[in-house]
Structure 1
Amino acid sequence: MTWKQRPLELVMTQHNTTHRWERHLSLYCLLLVLFSQSHSAFDVKKQCAKNEYWNVQGFCCDKCHAGYKLKLKCSAPGELSVCEKCDNGTYLENANYSPNCFRCTSCEKPNMETVSKCEVTRNTKCKCKDGYYMKQLGGPTTECRPCKNCGTGQLKMGNCTGEDYNHCKCKDKHYSVKPNFCKPCDSCQDGCDFLCNTPTTPFRVKKSSTDIVSPIVVPICSCIMTLAVGVFMLYEAIRLWRKRKRALLAQSSTDDPVSKTEVEPMVVTDSPDSVLKQVLITNLPCETERASELPDCVPREIKVPEFIYFVLDEIPVARFKELVRRLGISEQDIDRAERDNRAFKDAQYQMLMVWSDRGRRGGNNILPCHLIQLFIESLRDMFLASCADSIENRFLS
């Protein structure tokens, strides 16, 4: 098959492919040229002399001498820059290409005097008067502050001249009492080591403050730790006992107490009036005995909305998601509640409704006592005892 006999679609596909490759090749060549130019420019920049700088136009220019500022840059390689001498009160110490000169420092601050005046090639040199030292405040800003005077029993270290600051220390055979006061040594203590190993007291050892405090602190800390552990164990034991007791009460409240405590009256063959009286008499002790066997926490009818709205006002918002996860609500239900409700409180309500519906298994709108007990125990496990007590006092007391 010849080229003229090929289908038109195949010819167009090959033509587009060739055109695309030519375009990519042109782009690569352009990038290569740019990279080589930048690399060569960098090499030229590195070849500038010490008294030259790299001009943004792509060649080296000469710098201005110290005391001169740059007025006009060189316009071509080999040409000289136009420089101008700094004005009075300004200076430039080194060769540069700066368009501005620096302002000279003033020595007119309190307790400061001039050592050498400012020139176009150097800045003013200042020093503090006798009895003062130079304090650096940040950047070029300085001030003169008075030298420190040593107190009683102290020696001056340093002369406090120029930028040096004198320090004070206690004299020989003295110890520090205050930052500016030292007293002569009279016993074995810090700063008086020569009194700790004398021939008259060869075994006397210097006692520090930690050696004196440790015999007192260690027993006290041990007692506090033991007491804390004991209180914690007692609290855990009481909490577990109350948890088991509530679980038993909740379980017993869900059973039918009448079927377990009801006693059938004895059938007596007598007249109708006597039979009725006998039945009433036998039923009275049965009711009394059944009432005495009921638990202390008698579950009342607690409606789900009433419980949920009370809980939403008690539980901290930051701990709510942790609570519903402990109650068995899945992340999918949490996300669905947040998607369906713009207000966060409505989303919280929907999460608790999911929990109550699963616990009631689609029953009526009354919340069982054992579900409330499990809810309270989850709060106690999260260390929210105050919230748990508030809910317990409201619904289970």
Structure 2
Amino acid sequence: MEGGVHRGSWNKKGHVGTILLLMCVFIPSLTSLCPDGDYPNDKGICCNKCPPGFRLTEQCHTVGQRSNCSRCPDRQFMDQINFFPNCRRCKSCKEIYNEVVESPCQKEKNTICRCADGYYKVSIFSEKYDCRKCTQCGSNEKQKQACTPVNNTVCECTENFYRVNKVCVPCNNCTTECKHHCSLPTEDPYYPYVHKGLIAGVAAAVLVLLVLVFFITYTATKWSTKKKLLKSSSQPSDASLDTCQQILMQSEEPSNNTVRAVPTSEQDQPSNLPDCVPLEIKIPDVIYMVLDLVPVLQVKQLVRYLGVKDTEIEQAELDHRSTREAHYQMLRVWAERGSRGGGRGGMLHWHLLQELMDELKKMHLGRAAEELGTKYGIQ
């Protein structure tokens, strides 16, 4: 009996001890909670955060003591309450991308850029965008809405013209689009039916002719391509490569004696280059393809191999919170530097693409190099 009483008393004491032990474990964690606007330092003391426009110089050391904050230096900002030792670097609007400053950088907010006059913004992803030249209304067109920094020009056809396949053509036939310009003779009651039948017959003949032209063109193109492939396979590959390289090197050499006009459309100028030379290599297209092919953890290694400095890598990470946007900026730094200020309006030089493929192969990313070579015709 005495043993039972002793055992029951011991169990009660054991429960009390367990409760006390749990209180000792959880009470410090509860007391370490800090109010809004404060943070716990490495000693568990609640310190105040710095307001926007300031950075942390020295954190508090005792309860009730305040942290030391200082203003961000020139050309740096901080747009949120923080306990960071460094402010963020202000963004620079780049004239090469047709950007101008809309709002200068301040201690509490970053620089805001906009497209220059005559250009409008086209979003790529998140905060990334391109400034493209505003469209000029063509012949037989008039301006319906002027170009703005965020919207392109809107054009419409002039009077007695209507749009067919993006081109304004005169209203010569009594079609649905321009029948209000036509006047039918009233003396012949059968004229509308004869006229409709004539239009239907002409339309059918044109359709048959288009199908026939398409079939002939497709057959001829297929035969010509097959003939070229057979011919190229019978010739030494080194000779073809040397020819392509000579043509590309000549096209990249600047000329001091000749002024060359740039056509308004790439389709207006026929190409005299062989099939092995790509007509254009747009920097954004190459960068997007690299970001899709190269693993995220290997992008920074790749840009270092391509000659991008660590300071430029850190700047890209500070300017862009998204990892993909930061990687895009790192690759763009490499492309701009090697292409002499943007590669003639955003075009990448062919030897830089070859350099990129070589570095990918060294990093054992041969599949990515192979896809780039296939897309741009470089083996």
TM-score range (shorter-chain normalised) is: 0.3 to 0.5
Q: Scaled by the length of structure 1, what TM-score is found? A: 0.37
The structure number with the bigger radius of gyration is 1
